[in-house]
């Protein structure tokens, strides 16, 4: 994730060759609306400093519904390692990392995880 963010911060002088805006609306629904209308990516990755949790967002009532909407619109969603909609829930309150948005951008972040 750090590599992806660094590439975006470099802007048009960096490897991506264009400027990016970074926003944090603090509402997953609002973030998804912005992605659907303007493009982009939302990332709430796993934090290696917190070994007790895989992620912060709940799979069943945050990650799955928003991932379904984004994928129906032609985007993608992932934990960084696997597609969100392929996950089999083990608990109703299961938490997962979430990366969703424009298919190309999600694929780039996932490639950096490998």
Domains in the chain, CATH or no CATH each: 23-113 (3.40.190.80)
Residue carrying structure tokens 């912005």: 34
Distance CA(75)–CA(94), nearest Å, equals: 23
Within its chain, how far is the Cα of 62 from the centroid?
12
**pLDDT by residue for the chain (114 residues), tens digit each?**
899 999 999 999 999 999 999 988 999 999 999 999 999 999 999 887 766 678 899 999 999 999 999 999 999 999 999 999 999 999 999 999 999 999 999 999 999 987
Model confidence, pTM: 0.91
Q: Is 8 left (phi over 0), alpha (psi -120 to 50) or beta?
A: alpha
User: What would the two tokens of residue 26 be?
Assistant: 């603090």
């Amino acid at each position: 994730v750090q590599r992806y963010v660094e590439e975006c911060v470099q802007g048009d002088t960096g490897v991506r060759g264009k400027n990016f805006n970074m926003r944090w609306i603090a509402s997953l629904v609002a973030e998804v609306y912005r992605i659907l209308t303007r493009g982009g990516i939302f990332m709430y990755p796993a934090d290696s400093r917190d070994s007790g949790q895989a992620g912060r967002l709940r799979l069943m009532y945050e990650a799955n519904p928003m991932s379904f909407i984004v994928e129906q619109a032609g985007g993608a969603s992932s934990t960084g390692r696997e597609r969100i909609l392929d996950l089999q829930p083990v608990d109703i309150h299961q938490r997962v990392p979430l990366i969703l948005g424009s298919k190309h951008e999600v694929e780039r972040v996932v490639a950096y995880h490998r």
